[in-house]
Chain A
Amino acid sequence: MKRIRRSKRKTLSRSKAGTFFIFAFLAVAGAFMLLPIIYVLVTAFKPLNEILAYPPKFFVRNPTWANFSDLIEITQETWIPFERSLFNSLFIAVAGTAAYIIIASMAAYPLAKNKSRYIGVYYQIVVLAILFRPEVTRTPLYIIISKLGLINTYWSLILPVMAGSFGVFLMRQFMITVPNEMLEAARVDGASDFVCFWKLIMPLVRPAWMTLTIFTFKDLWNTGESQYIYEEALKTLTAVMQSISSAGIARAGAGAAVALIMMIPPVTVFVISQSSVMETMSQTGIKG
């Protein structure tokens, strides 16, 4: 045994050609991934004459903040104040994410720790439901949302995301790793299920809810389907971005500026909590 331990992972031959191929492939694929994002970044700082230059240049020569002030001006004139749509998006994303973390974690607790047959069946349904995103149930969802009188409310954007089962699945997979002995010990000490959940489970599954925060925040931050919201004052940044980007090349600078603003929050959250994400995602496997 000792001999095996001492032999490093490098015992496997790593051919030079293979290593070269990996670098080449990742460089090409990485460039394909990054270039459009970089293009958004540089376009956001291009002055109008560079945007309209022929032939178009990829990089910016004289960076300027003009597109950001333009963005605020355009939205002020044509739609609604930029701050208002920013607030709409932020409110929907933050409130929706917080609420979903709580209800998804609550639902995940019995799904992870209750061995009852019915709970097991319910879990199977929850996993199967991951298949059906709100995009594919759009029409009946629209009927239900309008029958409930939720058209033109924030709820029409928040609730369908909160009804998704992916978060419950994610939390459940992680809660399963909490040892049962810990729960039993707490219960012997007289802790109720609610105390166990709040004081024991939730702190232990912090990586899972950090991860779920990113996914939910990203989804909510990017929603803004105009089918549910007609009132201009309630529209989100996504809707603003769609209006601006459909206005063509003259608005490309402002479009890139709003795209850049929209990119910052999810990317920041992801970078901060990426180690939690990796810890959580390693639990996402499903048994066939």
Chain B
Amino acid sequence: MGLQGLLWCIALLLGTSLAAAAAGRHRRAGTLVYAVALGTTTVALVIAGASLLAVGSLGGALQLPIGLPWLGAHFRLDALAAFFLVVVNLGGATASLYGLGYGKHEQAPGRVLPFFPAFLAGMNLVVLADDAFTFLFTWEFMSLSSWALVMAHHRERGNAAAGYLYLLMASFGTLALLLAFGLLAGPGGGYAFSAIRATLPSALVGGVVLALALIGAGSKAGLVPLHVWLPLAHPAAPSHVSALMSGVMTKVAVYGFVRIVFDLLGPPHWWWGALVPLLGGVTALLGVLYALMEHDLKRLLAYHTVENIGIIFIGLGLALAFRASDMQGAAALALTAALLHVFNHSVFKSLLFFGAGAVLAATGERDMERLGGLIHRMPLTALAFLIGSAAISALPPFNGFVSEWLTFQAILLSPNLPQWLLKFLVPAIGALLALSAVLAAACFVKAFGITFLGRPRTDVAHDAVETDSWSIAAMFILAAFCLLAGILPGYFIDALAPVSEALTGARLPRQNELDWLTIVPIGQSRSSYNGLLLFLFIALAALLAAEAIHRWASDAVRRAPPWDCGFPDASPITQYTAGSFSQPIRRVFGTVLFRAREEVDMPPPGDARAARLHVRLHDVLWDTFYLPTAKLVEFTAERFNKVQFLTIRAYLTLVFAALVVLLMVLAVWQ
């Protein structure tokens, strides 16, 4: 029943998309499209949430007679799909709500409106797909509709190149997934997931499928080194689409990985649990260091997505390692941590992109170096962005801390693993995780501080206006989720129990029976956390201090120019910029990883021009992997170009030679 409802919602979204394609220029088209999208995704969210909590009664499978004639299209709603549908539709609903306000700023609505509902429909369909063909078809549909959205502002500088790179990487990823499904289906050729689940691949095939899934799903999610398209494509799209791409589409990619590796592939081998967390840890650290070097607000957020995907893959990899050693409780913990981070990240990343979109709409600027002081002009946006920043920096009592805490608890179970490499690797990955968590906090002090705090650096920042109430409503709904998931994590963990049971065979202990709403992931004597109590304590302590001081001491305030160690009122240019804020961290980490070099161009004495500071950064991954590959492809293409210009006789010879070779192979094979 739940599945039919979801499919009807998706059909409605596709219908809206067609209608918008026909009548996109109409004045009220935007409001209608976003309103329908909001309604449909909210209904889908409710159905998905109900299915997650009562998956036995509401789940189901369905086969539609569309698609390939001998295969049809299979759809299935199980616990894993229900959870990811909750994530997708929550993001979709808030993005549609945001779009009701933000869409009015859109210059070319005809290029955005038809594809937005299609994108939402595509993401929903990927999660529901139950056979390889439907999965790949809907995956491509999702990629293409998001590509169209990336190209919506194609005349802006850099967007066309971003779209091209996105298309290239998406096609490459789909190719990897195609090969993965081909290997999984095996010589028997049964493409339905139920058939694939029944066959058990050999160790070699399993390893190859893991690698292909990492390449295919990982490139869409943003694993290093396949992440390069993400910081170019995500910022190029309109802001609510950026939020969907970063917050939701990357999670659909994670869903693809989880479905293939945890569900379809059978029991894992221990070295999978070494490779995946290592990739995750490296991704997390590199993502946040790239983010620290950025001063474009949306690109910084996109690099942060890369970091958080790394954290999710750390949890997934740990779950694989524990499963391979039959430690099912620990595997359930690691998987729950990863999935909870999936939810948390989609919530706060969407919130942050909405904030960045509001700033972009109000000032026309994405560059932090040209903003500043926006907290006075856009107070509500600033508050929502602050909550999102605190959540993504893994600060208690918000939700980011809960999933990181659970991941750390899973890491601390690693000494029980039998393999020596894992025993040493997992604490090293714990160190990488700790490093990336605190660097993320540094990055968001920079992002929030330079953009919203301080004094305005340009006139557009000085004259910014608060954004509209639809956008603010969307942002505050997500901010409320950030706080709720941090204070009441037990409910979310219990909701994830059916998923972890289905995939690892175990679940975390029931959280809702514990005192004071504490969460205890392993055992009471081992570790526990109570977000509600911490929040109450902090709030009470702060309020008590404020009340006591205001009553018995003093509450006088006087406004004056800043002290600034006695310097006379300096211009806003003397404030710290984004580059200067990250300079110490760039000196420590960047000289090795990015070959960061600073050069000061000092004018000779007597010359009155300003000195200049140049910071050179090299994207080492781009230089090592992509440029040589591009050169190789160009070189090979040059060589093969000659085939275009042969005579007719030469072509006939080619055909003849191919025929003869095939006949010879047939003869030998007999």
The reply to whether chain A is a binding partner of chain B is no
Give residues in B with beta carbon < 8 Å to A: none
Give residues in A with beta carbon < 8 Å to B: none
